[in-house]
Structure 1
């Protein structure tokens, strides 16, 4: 299967890599614009999800908004990891930054293999609960996580947003920077600024 990747930022093959994961029904070009607001010293790779949906693409089949089908999530996580391990061999720091459906996918990848990633940003989305990846106490001990949510988000179910917040700031064991802003389902400027700072600390 062809992997469609758009890049920005540093071209140094040793530069820390940030992989941008778009939301459901979007594509790799859409979220790549975020790279222009983040540190230029980092390398950015925006990957197109493999499932065609709604004029764009998705990371997994859904049982409902924010609720991945476990078998679909496993298949696309394995596909993504095969690409990532060839694109950025272990040893090169890799941070994932996912928006909405991409946030659930990023969270799934982190929960599946916490030691693979230097950090994960869960932007306006939920972790993939009840989808075949472990969400146990202490699972993310030592992991760096950034969480941004909108107080007025009406896309992701509030129960899932609350559960994500509680797990990542509590039982997961992760070192989590979490913020809520008075916005809906979209990137707030202060959240992007905080993300930019977090990526370089």
Structure 2
């Protein structure tokens, strides 16, 4: 079994990284407002993106926009993939917001980071047939929060080894709209994940069951990482739920 992991709690794929880098040389600001446009690395040059389904990758705590690009070889070819850098420099990488156990954490900091990504997606989504989100660890919190803010905007969401944040009374989240029209959501994790606390997993499990069309898969021996088996399941999920994505088998 191939694992993609790193010691800082992020996903740092290695076995597919060389081919991903070759297919994704363009790194730079998005095309949204200058104050909020993130740094993004793309899987395809700009002249090959129009009309394709868009898959937005959201990395974990203290990682960066290159961190998830090693999974490209496992994803359906129809997608244009855009991997987004979190806004706050921290250590050797970046973070979306303070860890929930930190005194500096607040839901307002979560929603501010999430709104910036939403604004950037708004600036490019007209060029794509649909938008799907994939987040690892803290990136899953960002992806699920984007879904909760704009439930009608996304074809599907993939959350890997991550969690959903409580609303703490924030009106940013439109959970009632998700209950009325649930969106397909893939949640993969290891029950022995040492990073995400049990109470956060319990909350996440309950929220996803109530608000989404949940596909939940558990993996043994993966801990806080991503493995090839999980990526195979992610590929199959995306092929089933995203319009315009063919069900071709993985040939690499």
- Please, what TM-score do these two structures have when normalized by structure 2? 0.72
Q: Does 1:17 align with 2:54?
A: yes
Q: Secondary structure at the match of 2:226?
A: coil
Q: For residues 141 and 238 of structure 2, what CA distance do their matches in structure 1 show?
A: 19
Following superposition of structure 1 onto structure 2, how do residues 85-96 of structure 1 map, counting pairs within 5 Å?
A: 85-89=122-126, 92-96=129-133
Q: Is the 8 A contact 2:149 2:174 kept in 1?
A: no
Shift of 1:89: 2.5
Shift of 1:136: 5.0
Q: Secondary structure at the match of 2:126?
A: coil
Match 1:198 to one of 237, 241, 249: 237
Answer with 1 or 2: which has the greater Rg.
2
Q: 1:176 matched to which residue of 2?
A: 214
- Please, what TM-score do these two structures have when normalized by structure 1? 0.89
In structure 2, relative to structure 1, the CA distance for the partners of 1:135 and 1:87 (3 Å cut) is closer
| Aligned-CA RMSD value | 2.2
Deviations 1:12-59 (A, max 9, x none): 311101000000100001111112211112110001011111211111
In structure 2, relative to structure 1, the CA distance for the partners of 1:91 and 1:30 (3 Å cut) is closer
Q: Does 1:5 align with 2:40?
A: yes
Q: Secondary structure at the match of 1:28?
A: coil
In structure 2, relative to structure 1, the CA distance for the partners of 1:13 and 1:6 (3 Å cut) is same
- Following TM superposition, where does structure 1 have runs of at least 4 consecutive aligned residues deviating by more than 6 angstroms? none
Deviations 1:156-187 (A, max 9, x none): 11221122123212x21x21111111120011
In terms of fraction of residues, the more strand-rich structure is: 1
Q: 2:165 matched to which residue of 1?
A: 128
Q: Does 1:185 align with 2:224?
A: yes
- Number of equivalenced pairs: 198
Q: Is the 8 A contact 1:147 1:165 kept in 2?
A: no
The answer to which structure, 1 or 2, has the higher relative contact order (CA under 8 A, 6+ apart) is 2
Q: Is the 8 A contact 2:135 2:160 kept in 1?
A: yes
